[in-house]
Chains A and B, each alone.
Chain A
């Protein structure tokens, strides 16, 4: 086996088409491919595993047009996969499929499905399904872990799902990466696919191994009748549980051996509202108790530089939470309205930004973090991307005591990070407490801090995230708390906020965050919307329009309904 080398494999229906393929590769300067004659993908993959002399195999469908520099790109892909999963822990990387974190389609391919060009992935994303058009196989890992495709399966259209399942069952990860971009000329055969997913041997394969009723593939949902007897049994089921549990097990094992990551949990306080700070520290304490392997964290309480601040309070907190790794530092200046986190940011960034694999999680003093996300952080945090999670907004009422729990809490809306791209419309929807920043990444943007004087935290963090990659995570990572009476702001604050926002957006517009081509493309979706009717941006725009309709209806109904609802609530709350 030649370490580091890559062989290209493709399957052709007959010898003639195989020869044509070989000639084509020769003409354009690609390495000579190994051709497998046949029509059985299961046998083809097993053939590659037996035949390949190189450490890696690039396996392509015969209707794929590879870039001429594909070997160079595949080398880069290997580097990225080795860095992400560890050289001995992955089986296949593909260019299209379903990512494990969001369960969403990820496509680094051009095919008959219209859509924008893909972006450059900073790392391979763990996958639950890969499309088979181009696959980079780590042959040595597959052989050493006993990977092989099952025999006797006839469902050719879903061999790529079986391939990913078998990889995870062998303890190897699969991923999605932009390095393997190619053009796939297939127009797809929906009928053949539908027939495949009804194939009895395929259904038995899945139901013998997993308790799922649904599998998600890039081609659609596969729904099965599967027994639920395991629900009423107390003993363990012989099967492997849910498919995603099997993936999680493999990924947890891989990521628990990676280099340690350090998270700085930073918040600014002026020593007032101690009950909120204590609630935040309680949530950090719970996170600390979860003792997640490979994650170290440190709490930094930044004392606001103003004169009204009460440093004695922080000393008392440090004593009370001495079980937490906590440092207290002081900001040089007093925070201005809306710039609490920027002030904290400025106070701590220089001390830690040079550290490898360090991250900053700036949390508003009124908010708290959700410790339940900590076990996933080793997999979710990447040095080249900002992580944005979901947030739950609560209305809350406090009784004025020092107790760290509010008197009453009502969960309101959930903010979904997947809609983060509304930044491109000048809207900040992801709360600042729900984002985690790689230290090195924001260190490079430190100069921007000076250039956005007059803005607020939200604008600044929005701007950072617009200029770098954002990985969204569909997990609630922060509780964002608002005064239940909604009396904390006044008209003057609101007006000041609007002017700050206008300043920030003006800065964004005039420093080129939105490129003209991006603007024209997005703008076109509001107009003709012919070629991209099914694209995600289109559907997003549609949902905005729908929401506008709901809001306009609400405006009509509200004046009539509100007094009635208020009376009803008042009556209910009466002791």
Chain B
């Protein structure tokens, strides 16, 4: 892959009408400010399945060309990106980004340079500020157990050969799964702090103590699913035990478990056996330290 020379970047961002304000306020203006990049093709993936066009602004804004694509049916995060990848066929790498981020002016350049230096880099993740995610990584190599899907440069070859995201996750935790499969397939997952993106929403900013959030629900459901996927029935049982100890209301836990069972019932478990064997070879990276904790670091360490 010769991404070092690449100055045109394909960017995928899945959106509904709720996210369009963020896309227009933050994502697009920050892409327009990217330095040492000549062309950006931004694909807004309408995951709602409705025909209504979400982006009605100008198609060309500075170096950014904006297109909206849709599968025609409602889809989750992974399915939306798998569809976009198949429909667009990006170059050697492409960026997956959240709608509510503002990329530092050198973010894309740094990500491109990093992924271009290493043909075995499957995923290269940018650093998030002002609150840096608790991250376990090797400062010398940048290797990390998993990369978040908030702002990550993806090696197209890896994405193609691995079959992309597991669509049964629907949303949240599919990035952990993709990272683990990268390690199992012989690719590296890299955390690259010089590439920076600002993320001003989510946990630190907007969560309300009296609400249940979609993110929490799907993270809990997918916590069970990923344990099942990589550790089988034993992992699933352990996950349920942890989940039940968290003190969620019984109705909430029931709903999470029902949703997990639906997903597990649909899964093609033949490939899971291979993953379960691979876990043994990657004990240092494929780890679950607690509820939704897929690395050893916590904030402040």
Within 8 Å by CB of B212, from A213, A370, A575, lies A213
1/0 contact string of B110-149 vs chain A (CB within 8 Å): 0000000000000000010111100000111000000000
B167 to chain A, nearest CB (A): 13
B259 & A232 in contact (Cβ 8 Å cutoff): yes
A370 & B200 in contact (Cβ 8 Å cutoff): yes
A290 at the interface (CB under 8 A from B): yes
A83 at the interface (CB under 8 A from B): no
B252 at the interface (CB under 8 A from A): yes
- Interface residues in A226-254 by Cβ distance below 8 A to B read 227-229, 231-232, 234-235, 242, 244
List chain B residues, Cβ under 8 A from A372.
Answer: 200-201, 205-206
Taking CB as reference atom, which chain A residue is nearest B171? A234
List chain A residues, Cβ under 8 A from B210.
Answer: 212-214, 216
Given A370-B130, A409-B130: A286 in contact with B200 (beta carbons within 8 A): yes
B208 & A289 in contact (Cβ 8 Å cutoff): no
A282 at the interface (CB under 8 A from B): yes
B76 & A234 in contact (Cβ 8 Å cutoff): yes
B5 at the interface (CB under 8 A from A): no
A33 at the interface (CB under 8 A from B): no
A516 at the interface (CB under 8 A from B): no
Given A289-B102, A404-B104: A411 in contact with B200 (beta carbons within 8 A): no
A362 at the interface (CB under 8 A from B): no
B212 & A231 in contact (Cβ 8 Å cutoff): yes
1/0 contact string of A205-221 vs chain B (CB within 8 Å): 00000001110100000
A411 & B131 in contact (Cβ 8 Å cutoff): yes
A229 & B205 in contact (Cβ 8 Å cutoff): no
1/0 contact string of A410-424 vs chain B (CB within 8 Å): 111000000000000
B28 to chain A, nearest CB (A): 9
Taking CB as reference atom, which chain A residue is nearest B131? A411
Given A234-B76, A282-B104: A479 in contact with B138 (beta carbons within 8 A): no
List chain A residues, Cβ under 8 A from B158.
Answer: none
List chain B residues, Cβ under 8 A from A229.
Answer: 255
B289 at the interface (CB under 8 A from A): no
Tally of chain B residues near chain A (CB < 8 A): 45
List chain B residues, Cβ under 8 A from A411.
Answer: 130-132, 204, 299-300
Taking CB as reference atom, which chain A residue is nearest B104? A405
B36 to chain A, nearest CB (A): 14
Within 8 Å by CB of A228, from B49, B102, B252, lies B252
- Interface residues in B204-256 by Cβ distance below 8 A to A read 204-206, 208, 210-214, 217-218, 221, 249, 251-252, 255
A566 at the interface (CB under 8 A from B): no
A409 & B204 in contact (Cβ 8 Å cutoff): no
1/0 contact string of A277-293 vs chain B (CB within 8 Å): 00000110010011100
Taking CB as reference atom, which chain B residue is nearest A569? B301
B198 at the interface (CB under 8 A from A): yes
How many angstroms from the CA of A213 to the CA of B76 in the assembled complex?
Answer: 26
A497 at the interface (CB under 8 A from B): no
B217 & A232 in contact (Cβ 8 Å cutoff): yes
B60 at the interface (CB under 8 A from A): no
How many angstroms from the CA of A372 to the CA of B26 in the assembled complex?
Answer: 11
B255 & A232 in contact (Cβ 8 Å cutoff): yes
How many angstroms from the CA of A410 to the CA of B129 in the assembled complex?
Answer: 10
How many angstroms from the CA of A259 to the CA of B132 in the assembled complex?
Answer: 37
List chain B residues, Cβ under 8 A from A290.
Answer: 25-26
How many angstroms from the CA of A372 to the CA of B131 in the assembled complex?
Answer: 13
1/0 contact string of A240-275 vs chain B (CB within 8 Å): 001010000000000000000000000000000000
How many angstroms from the CA of A572 to the CA of B298 in the assembled complex?
Answer: 13
A181 at the interface (CB under 8 A from B): no
Within 8 Å by CB of A289, from B30, B196, B213, B299, lies B30
A286 & B251 in contact (Cβ 8 Å cutoff): no
How many angstroms from the CA of A231 to the CA of B193 in the assembled complex?
Answer: 34
B74 at the interface (CB under 8 A from A): yes
List chain A residues, Cβ under 8 A from B278.
Answer: none
- Interface residues in B136-188 by Cβ distance below 8 A to A read 138-140, 170
Within 8 Å by CB of B74, from A234, A572, A575, lies A234
B255 & A231 in contact (Cβ 8 Å cutoff): yes
Which of B30, B106, B132 counts the most chain A CB atoms within 10 A? B132
B interface residue numbers (CB < 8 A to A): 25-26, 29-30, 49, 74-76, 102, 104, 106, 127, 129-132, 138-140, 170, 193, 196, 198, 200-201, 204-206, 208, 210-214, 217-218, 221, 249, 251-252, 255, 259, 299-301
A-B contact sample (7 more), CB < 8 A, given A405-B104, A410-B299:
A228-B212, A228-B251, A228-B255, A231-B214, A286-B200, A290-B25, A409-B132
A to B CB contacts below 8 Å, 10 in the list: A228-B217, A231-B213, A234-B170, A242-B211, A286-B26, A405-B104, A409-B129, A410-B300, A411-B130, A411-B131
